[in-house]
Amino acid sequence: MITAIRHVGLVVADLEKSLKFWCDTMGFVVSRQMEESGPYIDAMMGLKDVRVTTAKLAAPDGNLLELLFLHSHPDKQQWEGKPYSTGFTHIALTVQNLNETYFRLQHLGVNFPSEPQRSPDGGVKVIYATGPEGVLLELVEQIN
């Protein structure tokens, strides 16, 4: 039925802050950024007079994260879910060195509920972090 996951969309309250975090801190690269409005985007969103900036960010492996900043229809400033909330909860990213990433992000003010944990099977080290707008990140280092 499907051939691939195309991208993950993330509505943001502060586009510049989010671009700085996702690109400068996490290593994504902007592959395309555009302003969208008109009947097409109104129909897609189920709203009228939508004005949105979209930015497609590419990970080193080619997977895409799409940031959407709605100029015309702002929502909450922050996502309020938890790791156990119903629905989409987090974005999992593979990192090369979790301890190094943890200390670097901690120095930049990113919040963590604990120190990195080793999985019971010993295959990965993992931790949750809170990114811009309260989005949860799962950072994973493959050990084996």
- Would you tell me which CATH number, out of the four given (3.20.20.10, 3.30.1330.10, 3.10.180.10, 3.20.20.140), belongs to the domain 8-70? 3.10.180.10
**pLDDT in the model for residue 18:** 95
One-character DSSP codes across 12-72: -S-HHHHHIIIIIIT--EEEEEEEEESHHHHHHHT-SS-EEEEEEEE-TTS-EEEEEEESS
Per-domain boundaries in the chain: 8-70, 90-142
**pLDDT in the model for residue 12:** 94
Q: Is the pTM value of this prediction over 0.85?
A: yes
Give CA 31 to chain center in angstroms: 15
CATH architecture of the domain 90-142 equals Roll (3.10)
Encode pLDDT of 31-78 as tens digits.
Answer: 999 999 999 999 989 999 999 999 999 999 999 999 999 999 988 888
Whether the pLDDT of residue 87 is over 90: the answer is no
